[in-house]
Structure 1
Amino acid sequence: MEEVKFGQDINKQKHKKMNQTVLITGASTGIGLEMAKQLAAKKFNLILVARSAEKLQEIQKHLQDQEGVTVKIFAKDLSNSANAISLYNDVKRENSKVDMLINNAGVGLYGNFTETSLDAELDMIELNISSLVALTKLFAQDMLILKSGKIMNVASLLAFLPFPYYSVYSATKAFVLAFSETLAAELEGTGVTVTTLCPGPIDTPFNTDSMLTTNAYKANKPMPASVVAESGVDLLLDGKGKKLVGFNNWFISNLPRFTPDFIMMKIKKNLASQRK
């Protein structure tokens, strides 16, 4: 009898998993795409969001054919936070229940602050902060009603270690980390969890030629997107708090605890500078 019951429990867990849906923003490339693949392989249904409808359609067909899961797609440019709100409304209109949310969409910009594009930086703030806050609030409110749900926000190593020449990007990721940690405390005991993934350099199209030729990228090689995604999936499903991916990134994030600020900033500026 115990063996039958154990088998029944396993079947119930599988059935529950197959009926759970994960929404991923920034799902057409990089770790967003890799997390989509890994979650589909675990038989989670998906709602994928990115700007390119064509890329999303290709991913949708591939994952549905290969993994047999349901994949819904929404082509949205989240650098306008109004589109984040419309995304939520579109998902609700289709009666799609979001059990887990991964706020992965983000963009960076490298260069002297006084020389970089103001429009690009304002779009970055909208994408990295405003849309993330909007989606988190709207879906968290639904999750609270059901007393169940998981939200994972993607920050960065630079949330701990803001770099010169990444001034606005570093600030947006510091916001994501602070916001996620405080929200996690607010929601403790509700059945809704909030976690934060904090990767260092990743081998994705996010990296520009100017980024790749800095001292930092020579000293701290980008990790494969699939490896970072695996850590992200583990954190989403079973983790708590925040997670830095890789020992090297964990060690670097702790350097400010033992290094005077003025020395640390000189080190960071050197790392963020172009290789000579």
Structure 2
Amino acid sequence: MEPFVIITGASSGLGKELAIQLAAKQHNIILVARNEKSLLEVKMLIEEQYKVNVIVLPIDLSIAENALKLYDQVISLNVAISSLINNAGVGLYGEFKETSLEEELKMIELNISSLVALTKVFIQYFLKNGGGKIMNIASLLSFLPFPYFSVYSATKSFVLSFTETVAAELEGTNVAVLALCPGTIDTPFHSDKMWNTNAYQTNKPMPVEKVAIAGVKLLEKGKGKTIVGFNNWFISNLPRLTPDFIMIKIKKYLASQKK
């Protein structure tokens, strides 16, 4: 049997679209997310259209210990794994003094702890089994942390930093660790308040298909990071060119609600 690509957060949005585009290139897929019903719908769609093998593993990765349970489940399948895409993640918008601590701690578990655990165990797996690729989904906010997205921005800054340092450690091996850095994507990920920020109005959300195309290309390339879209690349470089006191005002304006 041909190897499988694991995609977390695969029941909707970018994860679902990555699964579809990889299946179109005849990759077998392991779909991971909490919602089993949605995963089964994606599985049916892919299998009918592309005639590849799709396995569904429903699990809640906002509980970090479940990352290791997921790994055990994958190993018990007795199939080869070629790549892991750590796409699962959540966001939260609002003033930090008022946002839900419970939601933020779950966000850290999902966006950071589970990602770190899965990256570690699959690096070890790939080193023992002929190599592989891990693609972590970072963000434009990895470069440009926004007010009102305080914990989310911090998790995505972590993801990029972690990915780049681990990739450097693995240079010269048969394991690649990559970072995809999209800006806003037109998916159900966003709340109404997020949609109403100046940032979303001035830098229009990108179609999920376009972001997934960039992700597939990065996975095939197997090296480095990709900032999706010229506008996002330009914005990501603003902090290098702009004094901090001006940059803070720009970020606060972009993250604020449109009047």
Q: Match for residue 8 of structure 1? A: none
Which sits farther off after the overlay, 132-141 or 232-241? 232-241
1:105 is paired with a residue whose SS is: coil
Structure 1: 5+ residue stretches without partners: 1-17
Deviations 1:46-66 (A, max 9, x none): 000011100111111221121
CA contact (8 A) 2:176 2:222 kept: no
Q: 1:112 aligns with which of 82, 95, 118?
A: 95
Q: TM-score, normalised by structure 1?
A: 0.92
Q: Match for residue 8 of structure 2? A: 25
Task: Give the total of aligned pairs.
Answer: 259
Q: Match for residue 191 of structure 2? A: 208
Structure 2: 5+ residue stretches without partners: none
Q: 1:236 aligns with which of 219, 223, 244?
A: 219
CA RMSD of aligned residues (A): 0.9
1:57 is paired with a residue whose SS is: helix
| Matching of residue 258 in structure 1 with residue 241 in structure 2 | yes
CA contact (8 A) 1:180 1:194 kept: yes
Deviations 1:105-137 (A, max 9, x none): 000000000000000000000000000001111
Q: Match for residue 70 of structure 1? A: 53
CA contact (8 A) 1:184 1:194 kept: yes
1:140 is paired with a residue whose SS is: helix
Q: TM-score, normalised by structure 2?
A: 0.98
Which consecutive aligned stretches of 4+ in structure 1 deviate over 6 angstroms post-superposition?
none
| Matching of residue 124 in structure 1 with residue 110 in structure 2 | no
| Matching of residue 170 in structure 1 with residue 159 in structure 2 | no
Structure having the higher Rg? 1
Q: 2:176 aligns with which of 166, 176, 193?
A: 193
Counterpart code for 1:202: I
- Tell me the CA shift for residue 19 of structure 1: 1.1
Q: Match for residue 44 of structure 1? A: 27
Percentage of pairs with the same residue = 64
Q: Match for residue 230 of structure 2? A: 247
Q: Match for residue 9 of structure 1? A: none
Deviations 1:33-74 (A, max 9, x none): 001000001000000001110011111122112111110011
2:157 is paired with a residue whose SS is: helix
